[in-house]
Chain A
């Protein structure tokens, strides 16, 4: 965060009411006053909108969210200005998911094509899942046969949800996924919540097991899978790699209390997203405990006053 500084801009009317510092001065201040940074960021000097001239194109390089016209770097989206050395980028506050290699995503099959599936992953184009990048029954490493091509729908069908990793990009920018790990594959025993992708931060692990018997998969594309907890020892695969279980469409029996916990977690995520609060596992846990203390049902959370109270409590606690 230390790298973000303001630009030595020609002062314009848009900057009225915000403090302008020489870059060196600004840096010093940010190191000094760490907690003033928040206010400083929200204060407006780092926000921009389409068509605002940011800096000269001779001194700086343009990054995403900007374009060059008349030797000026100009913002093309509304969001926050970020600067790394001489590279200026504008990060849009709300946008579709921008994939990067290695990201964990949750997606939904939209189409079955020859030797590949098309997957909706909240990105600008549908992702591609090649038949060669999924684990097939009968050994993790084996050749793809013609018979596999003919029975692709027994693995994934239109509408199935899956968790996968971004493997590579095609020349037109579409992403290629893979599920070649025992952690990845078809999803069942739960429900999906969709939130703006910017609210999912990169974490050490995107598989979270909450102590209330609920597993979470935080897809970086803003799709979140909330499901019943599966014990480590009972996880499919390991030595045997039970294809039946991995590609099964049948839900396990889920008892009443787990169902309630799943819907409670789902509603917490919805409330946090509607208040634009980024998700973390500690935040979710705090929120879950708070809602249990309040003794309301899961559906009460969606009432506006309860939601506001929840967000007010947990953001002040952290």
Chain B
């Protein structure tokens, strides 16, 4: 065992100094990107993902239109420089296609597609850095990008990865931990506590599953609070900026508005 990194040491710390149930630092950037209707850059620790959403817009391919609801189209691209060893994946890579399909099926029941018949919503996911928990970051970033694009959702979708080391459960795994221990990704809608995604690529003991599943679902609520405050801050900034312009009002409120605008 000497050559291998300890997943959980005697003191109850993990390889990056976190406790068992501690999540990594989460950073959210909701500023607009190019011509996209909505965009978000989300990082969980060192895993960073950028998502651009276009639409709802006219479907470019007639065959893809659905007469009573919108079609969601997800494309995933993993940057060659995102991992330790530089490796280019083709767009037709089975793993990438599978992950795009997972993201699509996660969001299909959450997006109110029936409001936009014969339209298409394009979601472009760009992975910039990878350090474990890739799917959870993609799901969280997609949620925020969709909200930023003003697309109606039933609720946020918050995803967290959970794993188990011998008998002790861990949350939000890094790449190092993901390679070593069985793990499961869970995405929840915090309001109703409905689960829209559970996925596993490793074998996990059936007795351990329930505990980890519950923990990950609870951790989703923590992620939700973080995402909620980011959305609130963004909406507040934009509303304040809009109010500062045409409405002739007191000088005080305007100064306040300017200060916030300069952040962008």
B251 at the interface (CB under 8 A from A): yes
A93 and B38 in contact, given A67-B112, A278-B246, A318-B248 (Cβ under 8 angstroms): no
Interface class of chain B by DSSP: mixed
Nearest CB of A to B199, in Å = 22
Q: Are A125 and B231 in contact (CB under 8 A)?
A: no
Q: Are A276 and B261 in contact (CB under 8 A)?
A: yes
Interface string of B118-158 (1 = CB under 8 A from A): 11000000000000000000000000000111111111100
Q: Are B117 and A277 in contact (CB under 8 A)?
A: no
When chains A and B are docked, how far (Å) is the Cα of A277 from the Cα of B257?
A: 11
A280 at the interface (CB under 8 A from B): yes
Q: Are A47 and B150 in contact (CB under 8 A)?
A: no
B255 at the interface (CB under 8 A from A): yes
Q: Are A172 and B118 in contact (CB under 8 A)?
A: yes
When chains A and B are docked, how far (Å) is the Cα of A69 from the Cα of B112?
A: 13
Interface string of B54-85 (1 = CB under 8 A from A): 01111000000001000000000000000000
Q: Chain A contacts of B51 at CB under 8 A?
A: none
A248 at the interface (CB under 8 A from B): no
Q: Are A124 and B242 in contact (CB under 8 A)?
A: no
Known: A34-B249, A47-B236, A78-B234. 7 other contacts (CB 8 A): A42-B239, A47-B239, A94-B38, A276-B241, A276-B242, A312-B258, A316-B255
Query: What residues of chain B have their CB less than 8 Å away from a CB belonging to chain A?
Result: 35, 37-38, 55-58, 67, 112, 116-119, 147-156, 189-192, 228, 231-232, 234-251, 253-258, 261-262, 264
List 26 contacting pairs A-B, 8 Å CB cutoff, sorted by A: A37-B249, A38-B243, A42-B240, A47-B235, A47-B239, A49-B147, A49-B156, A50-B147, A50-B154, A50-B155, A50-B156, A51-B154, A76-B152, A76-B154, A78-B147, A78-B150, A78-B231, A94-B37, A94-B38, A95-B37, A120-B58, A124-B55, A173-B117, A194-B35, A272-B245, A275-B261
Query: What residues of chain A have their CB less than 8 Å away from a CB belonging to chain B?
Result: 14, 34-35, 37-39, 41-42, 44, 47, 49-51, 53, 65, 67, 69, 74, 76-80, 92-96, 110, 118, 120, 124-126, 172-174, 194, 198-199, 201, 272, 274-278, 280, 283, 308, 311-312, 315-316, 318
